[in-house]
Structures are given as C-alpha cells and as structure tokens.
Chains A and B, each alone.
Chain A
Amino acid sequence: MPDNTNNKRMFTIWQTAAAVIAGAQVEKTDEPVLDVLHLTKSFGTETILDDLSFRIESGEIFGLLGPNGAGKTTMIRIILDIIKSDHGSVKMFGKVFDERFKERIGYLPEERGLYQKITVFECLKYFANLKNVKKPDDRIDFWLERVGLIEYKKRRVSDLSKGMQQKIQLASAFIHDPDLLILDEPFSGLDPVNTKIVKDIMLDLKRDGKTIILSTHQMDQAERMCDRILMINHGEKVLYGTLDQIKAGYRKSPVMVVEYEGDLKPVDGVTGVEDYGRYAELGLEIGTDPQDVLKNLMESVKLRRFEMKSPSLNEIFIEVANVA
C-alpha cells in the first residue's frame, strides 16, 4: 500500500511538473496565430490594401515582403490595431483582436526610436511596464546581457551608437516574452557581427515556439530564415506560400552557371549570356537539355565548375515588383 501511495504521489508531482513545463511553453493550438481575412484599407482615393487574406501558423518565421509603398507597414499597423481597416477582419490566436493581445506581441517598427534623454534602464522599464511585465528588472538584465549591452544599462540612450540603440530597441520588443514578434527590417543598420547576434536570437525564439513576422528587403535573409512568405505589391497579394512553392510556381527559363578557361563561343539552346571572362550565366531555352549545352561548351572551353541555378528570391522579388 505505501508503495502504491508513493507511486500516486510521484505521478501527481510528475503531472504538476509536466503542466508547469507545458504552461511555460507557447500555447500550441491548431488555430493560426494570425488569420487575416479580406483586409482593405484606403487613404482618400488611394487603395493601400486590397482584399488581402493570409494566415500565419504558430511557430513559423513568416516573411512579409514587398517593395517600398506596397502596404506592409499599413498592414502591420492594422494587425496591431494602431489604425483601423475599412473592411475585413484580423483574428489573433483564434480570437477577434482584443487589446489584451498587445501584451503577447513584440514589435520592432521600421522607424527606430528611443527616448534619448533617459537611461537605457529607464527606457526599457517604461516599455516593460506598458507590456505588464511582472519582474521587469530581471527581464531587462537578461535581454541586455543577451544583446551584449549590460554595461550600458545606466548610460543615457543618447550616449549609445546607432547600432547599440537598435539592439536596445530589439531588446524592448523581446522583453515581455511575446508569443508573436513583428520585426520590421531588424537587420537594417547592423554590422555582420550584430546581424549574426540578432539572427541567432530569432532562431532561438523560433525554437522556443514563438511566431515571427519578418518584414525585410534583405531577400537573402528572408530566403534563408523564412518558412513561408507573403509578398504584396500595391496592396495586393502577389506571392504566398513556402519558398519551394513560390519557386516552383515561378516560371522562368533555367539558368546554367559555369566557371571556365578559354574563349566562350555561342552555343545552341542558349538564349542569353552574362559573361564575366571566367564566369558566365547562360539562360537556356525552355526544353533545352542542359547535357547538350554542356557537351557543346566543352568543345570550346575547359569547364572548372557548373551548376543549374534556380531563381533566387531576390530575382523573383525584382521581377514580380517590376511586372506589378
């Protein structure tokens, strides 16, 4: 009997611990973190967002792309309930948006700004208090340590460099342990070392189950980090899906990249050549067998390397933006 009681007690403790651990994690549900339906917004006669719908799933890094003036910032502000949409709805965590959800969102706006005349600590504490952080001092220390600026805690914000201020602002977006992060150009103005720090933080947060909306013009970062992508232009959805889906759906003639020695001659089946002397990008006619092109090339030059190149997100971005 005593053994049985102990087992029950252990089971209860295990259940409690499991519940605590589960509670510490982000609430995982089948509901999307964000469900945007038919969002429309106009300023005067100008339509900024035109019947835009998309979903963001829990735990993903979602790329929000688009050229300048596409409507990204307006959309983010509607999601945050800073401005109201003309039509459409935003559901967050499976529910109609409520101001209390703002405490579960971390936001880094594109236009950076901090109070210059107060200390880093005072500035972060004000933002933390607005997000209802229970032990703000501990969280401030944790994030200042994380971004490598703990020794600047008591310094005035105006004494910090632009890059440091950017990291302080990032810390302010993370300080309340949000479930959804909206980061508008988080790498802008950062050197490679700090870019890596921020990228690592974002990936850690993703591993912790946080959802991240990454709005950026740095296509290489978006291509490497994002699980799914939405590209808008003139307020309309022009690309939406995983990177593979987008690339698969993007019809363009294949490109062969070669590094060579010798004199490159015209080859059948090649529609255009970007020749750099020892490196060339060859645009192939649709239906051309790359093997045939390689055979013909080897008759005139010595090939050192070759590969078939799929279109980069940057190329897709430029083309889609120009077409639109």
Chain B
Amino acid sequence: MLRKTLVVAKHEFLATVKTKGFILTLILPLVILLPVIFTSGYVMQIATESPRNIGFVDETEILQPDGIFIRFEDIRGAENALLNDEINSFFTIPSDYLETGRVFLYGTGGFFSSAPTDLVEAFLIDNILRYSDVDETLGDRIRCPAEVEQITLNEKGEVEEKQEVLFLIPYAVAILMMLSIMTTSGYLMQGIVAEKENKTVEILLSSLSPEKLLTGKLIGFGSAGLLQICVWICLGMLVVSVTSLAAVFQEIQISLLMILAVPYFILGYLLFAGSMACVAAPASTMKDAQQGAMVFTMLGILPMMLLGVIIAAPDSVIARVLTYIPYTAPATTLMRITLTGIPVYEIAASLLILTISVIVVIKLSARIFRSAILMTGKKIRIRDIPGYLKR
C-alpha cells in the first residue's frame, strides 16, 4: 500500500518540477549569478592585465625606475609612449612637488585605463622613504600603519573570535532554507486546493485513503523542495569556487551549519506543509487558503523581520524564545549558530519541540484533511476546526 503513496509522490514531484514557476526559481539564481561570475572573472582578468607599464617624468630627481615604472625625460616622450600603447599611463612630478604634493596623471580615458593611483602613491611613498633614509621598520609602518583585527566581546566580557563577513553565510542559508520551505509548502497548498477545485480529489480518494494521499503529497512536494535546495547549493558552490568568496568559506565551519540545516529543513518543511494542508483542505478557493495560511507565513518570516535584534543580541530572550517556537526555530537557530555558541541543550530542545510539533501537526492535518477535503462552499473558520477533528 506504500506503493500508492509513492505513485502520488512521483506524480506531485513531476507535476511540480515541470511548472514554469518552479523552473524559474531554479533558473533565476543562475540568470543572476552567471553574469556576475563571468563579469567578475573578466574584471579580474582586466585588473591583472591593466597595470602594465606606467611612465613618469620626474623634475625633482627623487624617483628611480622600478619594475613597471619607466622614466621618461620629457612629457612629449611619455605622451608618444602612451599613444603608441607602450605604457598604460604616466604621471609627472613637478619641481615643487615636495612643497605642494601635486602630481599630474595622464591616461587615454578608456574604461580600464584610468590612472592607477594606488600604485602611483605606493611608488611615491617607497621613493620618498628611500630619499629620506628612514629606518626600514619605521618605513613599513608608514607604508601600512594598521593591521586591523576586530575583536567582539560577549555579555560576560569574553572574547569571541568572529569575522563580520562570515555572518553572511548562515543568514544566506537560513533565508534560502525558509524560502524553499515556504515555496514548497505553498505548492502543496495550491495542489490541494486545485484538486478540490477541479474535483479530482474524490477520484483519488476512491483509490487510496486521505492519509496516504496527504503523505504522498508531502513526500512529492518535499522532494521538489529538496531538489530546489540542492540546485541552489550547487550554484552557490560554483560561485564560491570561482570568486574570492572561496577564501571566506575555507575559514567557516560549514559542517555544523550544513548538518543542522538538513533536519531543520525536513522538520520545518513538514511543519509548514502540514499547517498549509490544514488550511487548504477546508478551503474552497486559493484565496481562502492563502488568507488562512497568512498566519503561518508571518511566523515563518518573523526571524527575518527581527534580524537586527538577533544580530545585536543573539543570546537575548527574544532570540532564545524564537529558537524554541517551532515555526521560527529553523531560521533563528541557523542564524544564531555562528553569532554565538548556542549550547547543545538549546539545539536539542529546539529540535525536540520541533519534532513533537511536526507529529502533532501531521496528525491534525490528516484528520482535518479527511473530514474537510470534500467540503465545498465554506469559509475557513477557526471554530469549525474541532468539528473537523471529531468527524
């Protein structure tokens, strides 16, 4: 009899992944990211190529040619070299440079041929330090006065070794996970209401029980959600591998985040999908179902709305409470995970509450589904729910 559940799951999975909306959600990140990848690659290529030879005309006689920096005796010679594409740009140092600091940079005006001021400044500092005969160590400090390392203190005054950029990773994972959960649950809700509207549900129920039908739908739509997540992760890894983000990922402990993301995704999906089924089964139209599902949607995005609070105080009462509320637990826990060292008991308690909630919601949704799925023309009312459960 599990076979029929799998037949439903396969049908719902294929029906979902063939929809334009689903394909769009898969392709959209690709459409956005691919140009970024190729553009960044091209820019990097140009950037590495662009600082070719740089000419200079020095009236102070302080500067000495070095590497890419080529001396010219007069401006005319430098101009000819620039126009003949022998140099990328050139600058002139007037005789009153030490008093005024004025430097004239010449370029051809192309998009990637702007004068490399950073390189010129570094070249000038090196030459001035040599000209001044400053101690080498002191010279290094003048060249680079501060190697900044940011230190974060927790509420107890203890040092937490975190880097700002790493915070982006769990947020991205949490947001993508919730996006997938909400999208996939939405597909389930649409599927249930559509089968009520096109009257196919009664034919299906003449072949298998309402519980098996609902289970098949949960598996089918859940698999589509997993596929979505997998595609996004693959795309993310592609982006990371070809961009400078690779260095960031090497530093973060991806494993814990990813290990926890799996159970939170599965449990979160079952919770939201079960809840959506509860409102979709008695609904007569998609509009009714969406209105009923609003409360779950709001709960789902609550951690994103309170992002500022969670970042500012990841161990605050609000953040902890959100970790224990089943509908906000998946996103909140994943966001807190790299902000603070969440105690293991908090994660365990959060997962336990979530698991119990999933069991309760799935049982409730199965009963509501059985008694309400064939009802039509009625608005969803909370006071009717006990009646659905009794039938």
A109 and B202 contacting across the interface, CB-CB below 8 Å: yes
A44 at the binding interface (Cβ < 8 Å)? yes
B11 at the binding interface (Cβ < 8 Å)? yes
A84 at the binding interface (Cβ < 8 Å)? yes
- Report A196 CB to chain B, min CB distance, Å: 25
Number of interface residues of B (CB under 8 A): 26
A109 and B199 contacting across the interface, CB-CB below 8 Å: yes
Residue-by-residue, is A126-167 near B (CB-CB < 8 Å gives 1, otherwise 0)?
110111100000000000000000000000000000000000
Residues of B within 8 A of A80 (CB): 205-206
A116 and B374 contacting across the interface, CB-CB below 8 Å: no
User: Which of B8, B195, B208, B387 meets A102, CB within 8 Å?
Assistant: B208
User: Which of A43, A103, A172 meets B203, CB within 8 Å?
Assistant: A172
- In the complex, what distance in Å separates the CA atom of A211 from the CA atom of B202? 21
- Report A179 CB to chain B, min CB distance, Å: 14
B7 and A113 contacting across the interface, CB-CB below 8 Å: no
B152 at the binding interface (Cβ < 8 Å)? no
- In the complex, what distance in Å separates the CA atom of A297 from the CA atom of B172? 96
- Report B368 CB to chain A, min CB distance, Å: 13
- Report A193 CB to chain B, min CB distance, Å: 25
User: Which of A81, A84, A107, A113 meets B200, CB within 8 Å?
Assistant: A113
Residues of B within 8 A of A9 (CB): none
Residues of B within 8 A of A130 (CB): 4, 7-8, 204, 207-208
A112 and B1 contacting across the interface, CB-CB below 8 Å: no
- Report A129 CB to chain B, min CB distance, Å: 5
Q: Which secondary structure dominates chain B's binding surface?
A: helix
B206 and A83 contacting across the interface, CB-CB below 8 Å: no
- In the complex, what distance in Å separates the CA atom of A44 from the CA atom of B198? 27
Residues of A within 8 A of B205 (CB): 80, 82
A99 at the binding interface (Cβ < 8 Å)? yes
Given A83-B374, A109-B202, A127-B209 contact (CB < 8 Å): no
Residues of B within 8 A of A112 (CB): 199
- Report A176 CB to chain B, min CB distance, Å: 9
A116 and B198 contacting across the interface, CB-CB below 8 Å: yes
A105 at the binding interface (Cβ < 8 Å)? yes
A129 and B206 contacting across the interface, CB-CB below 8 Å: no
**Residue in A closest to B6 when the chains form the complex, CB atoms:** A129
Residue-by-residue, is A100-111 near B (CB-CB < 8 Å gives 1, otherwise 0)?
101101010101
Residues of B within 8 A of A131 (CB): 207
B374 and A114 contacting across the interface, CB-CB below 8 Å: no
Residues of B within 8 A of A114 (CB): 198, 200
B3 at the binding interface (Cβ < 8 Å)? yes
A306 at the binding interface (Cβ < 8 Å)? no
- Report A166 CB to chain B, min CB distance, Å: 12
A132 and B3 contacting across the interface, CB-CB below 8 Å: yes
- In the complex, what distance in Å separates the CA atom of A44 from the CA atom of B388? 10
B371 at the binding interface (Cβ < 8 Å)? yes
Given A83-B391, A126-B11, A107-B374 contact (CB < 8 Å): no
- In the complex, what distance in Å separates the CA atom of A267 from the CA atom of B252? 107
- In the complex, what distance in Å separates the CA atom of A111 from the CA atom of B205? 13
A84 and B7 contacting across the interface, CB-CB below 8 Å: no
Residues of A within 8 A of B8 (CB): 130
Residue-by-residue, is A67-82 near B (CB-CB < 8 Å gives 1, otherwise 0)?
0000000000100111
- Report B212 CB to chain A, min CB distance, Å: 8
Give the contacts of B28-45 with A (CB-CB under 8 A).
Answer: none
- In the complex, what distance in Å separates the CA atom of A285 from the CA atom of B200? 53
A113 and B206 contacting across the interface, CB-CB below 8 Å: no
- Report B1 CB to chain A, min CB distance, Å: 6
A115 at the binding interface (Cβ < 8 Å)? yes
B198 and A84 contacting across the interface, CB-CB below 8 Å: no
B206 and A111 contacting across the interface, CB-CB below 8 Å: no
* Chain A residues at the B interface, C-beta cutoff of 8 Å: 43-44, 77, 80-84, 99-100, 102-103, 105, 107, 109, 111-116, 118, 126-127, 129-132, 169, 172
21 A–B contact pairs at CB < 8 A? A82-B202, A82-B374, A83-B371, A83-B374, A99-B209, A100-B1, A102-B208, A103-B207, A109-B202, A109-B206, A111-B199, A113-B198, A113-B199, A113-B200, A114-B198, A116-B198, A127-B203, A127-B207, A129-B7, A132-B4, A172-B203
User: 5 closest A-B pairs (Cβ-Cβ)?
Assistant: A113-B199, A107-B206, A130-B207, A109-B202, A113-B200
